Amino acid sequence: MDSQQNQDIKNNQYPQPKRLGERDVFVGKWLKMKYIDFEIRGKKIENYESIERTTRIKNTPYDGVATFAIIKRDNQPSQLIVIANYRAPVDKFVLEIPAGLMDTPDLIQNAIRELKEETGYTAEEQPLKVSNKESPPTYTDPWRSCSCTKSVFLQVNGNKQENINPKQDLEDAESITVHLIEIDENITDNLTTLAEKHGYIISSTLWCFAQGIQFAKTFQV
């Protein structure tokens, strides 16, 4: 593609897409489906199907938190805490990062709470700083949903008594098995082996995170 083609795409002759309206089709306890009408490239699109959470806290521009928790023990390599979570829509256990909906506007405390409930592990109050900026809201499937989460990195001291034999506090609809994965250049291979052994499938969030680690370690970038 030459520079002129790039310029033509950048300076699109059509106005910005414009939402014209929306209406609910179905409203449940956790989700609702709605139709959206909008204009794009001079055309009117009607009844675009979309899913939205019903649980978002007022004045909070995201729905939940994803918790990347690193556990450290004396004389042992650092490990990533992952969960195998039964997901009814796929009828399988899915390897995931501990995550959940916001109960309060406090991002860090929600991350610590979710980790404790789903895995039993108690994280340190001070999160790990991996960037100068807080995580922005990130979207997994914006083509069908406005649901989004922020990410938090937590550290777990595996030597503390409360983390020797952690106990979960699961909800009625949850069935979760906890796994610890070494953070090294074989992390994606280890995830694949674990999934194949137990018949799990792998979430895109966890897979992309693991691929990033393996890529950086393999190519030393």
DSSP string, 152-166: EEEEEETTSGGGTS-
3-state secondary structure of 214: helix
pLDDT (0 to 100) of residue 9: 55
The continuous run of DSSP H or E covering 191 comes out as helix 187-198
Q: Which domains does the chain have, with CATH numbers?
A: 3-53 (no CATH), 64-219 (3.90.79.10)
pLDDT (0 to 100) of residue 8: 52
pTM for this entry: 0.90
Over residues 137-174, the pLDDT tens digits come to 999 999 999 999 999 999 999 999 999 999 999 999 99
Which DSSP state fits 145? Answer: B
pLDDT (0 to 100) of residue 25: 98
**pLDDT above 60: residue 5:** no
**pLDDT above 70: residue 208:** yes
* C-alpha to C-alpha distance for 181 and 80, rounded to whole angstroms: 5
Whether the CB-CB separation of 64 and 76 falls below 8 Å is answered with no
* C-alpha to C-alpha distance for 208 and 214, rounded to whole angstroms: 10
**pLDDT above 70: residue 11:** no
Whether the CB-CB separation of 135 and 148 falls below 8 Å is answered with no
Which two tokens mark 45?
A: 């699109």
**pLDDT above 90: residue 4:** no
* C-alpha to C-alpha distance for 157 and 159, rounded to whole angstroms: 5
Task: State in Å, rounded, how far the first CA of the chain is from the last one.
Answer: 29
Give me the count of residues in the chain: 221
Strands 149-157 and 64-72, by their bridges, are parallel
Mean pLDDT across 45-66: 96
Positive or negative, the CA dihedral 24, 26, 28, 32 is negative
What is the distance of C-alpha 84 from the center of its chain? 14
pLDDT (0 to 100) of residue 3: 53
pLDDT (0 to 100) of residue 14: 79
Least confident of 14-18, 31-35, 119-123, 186-190: 14-18
pLDDT (0 to 100) of residue 179: 98
